[in-house]
């Protein structure tokens, strides 16, 4: 499996494990609480690691993860980080409406291509991963180059 797909699959697995830990009903709330906390940390830490790795790939301008349009993890400080979040929220809302109308199913990816740059937004559990690059970069190829 290509590097990026393998990373995304691993994050989806961690997100699902965390979601499952939230559904547990046990008489010992302390144990359930601790397990959820650990699963959440495992998922979020993995998101941060991936964001850092993607940010180091040649051709990628920035990478960040958002929850409800608010910054959760970022590869490097960027002046447009809040604008990214706002764009993400607006795009996701429009795409979800379109997806519902067309029966596309759960939203997985949105790509916006401008004259100079492009942004890809990918859904991972409750989060959205945003990756930006110059327009001419082939994102699929760039993302499958394992970063050093």
Partner 1 sequence: MSNIHPLDTRKSQSGEIDAILRNLMGIQGVSAAAIVDNDGFVTHIQRDSEINTDAIGASVQVVFGAAARAAQHVGHHATNMVICENAEGFILSTPVEAGFMLALVTQRDALLGRVRFELKETIPVLKKLFSHYLTH
Binding mask 1-40 for partner 1 (x = CB under 8 A): ---------------------x------xx-xxx-xx--x
**What is the C-alpha separation between 48 and 75, in angstroms, rounded?**
8
Give, as ranges, the residues between 78 and 107 that touch partner 1 (CB under 8 A): 85
Closer by beta carbon to partner 1, 34 or else 90 = 34
Q: Which of 6, 9, 20, 41 binds partner 1 (CB under 8 A)?
A: 41
Rule CB under 8 A: is residue 145 a binding residue for partner 1? no
Give every strand in the sheet of 70-74, ordered side by side.
70-74, 62-67, 127-134, 117-124, 109-113
Shortest CB 145 distance to partner 1, Å: 27
122 beta partners:
109, 129
Q: Which of 44, 124, 137, 143 binds partner 1 (CB under 8 A)?
A: 44
Q: Which of 50, 54, 73, 92 binds partner 1 (CB under 8 A)?
A: 73
**Alpha-carbon distances of 6 from 11, 52, 63, 143, rounded to whole Å:** 9, 16, 17, 11
Residue 37, both tokens = 């906390």
Closer by beta carbon to partner 1, 1 or else 30 = 30
> Which residue pairs, CB below 8 angstroms and at least 24 apart, start in 17-26?
17/42, 17/43, 18/42, 18/43, 18/125, 19/125
**Which positions touch partner 1 (CB under 8 A)?**
22, 29-30, 32-34, 36-37, 40-41, 44, 65-74, 85, 126-127
């Amino acid at each position: 499996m290509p590097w990026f797909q393998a990373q995304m699959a691993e994050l989806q697995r961690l997100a699902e494990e965390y979601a499952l830990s939230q559904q547990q009903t046990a008489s010992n709330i302390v144990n359930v609480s601790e397990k959820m906390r650990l699963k959440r940390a495992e998922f979020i830490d993995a998101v941060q690691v991936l964001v850092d790795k993607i940010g180091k790939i040649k051709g990628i301008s920035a990478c960040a993860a958002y929850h409800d349009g608010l910054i959760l993890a970022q590869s490097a400080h960027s002046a447009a980080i809040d604008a990214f979040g706002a764009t993400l929220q607006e795009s996701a809302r429009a795409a979800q409406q379109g997806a519902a109308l067309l029966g596309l199913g759960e939203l997985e990816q949105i790509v916006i291509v401008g004259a100079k740059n492009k942004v890809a937004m990918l859904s991972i559990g409750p989060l959205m991963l945003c990756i930006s690059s110059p327009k001419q970069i082939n994102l699929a190829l760039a993302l499958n180059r394992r970063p050093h």
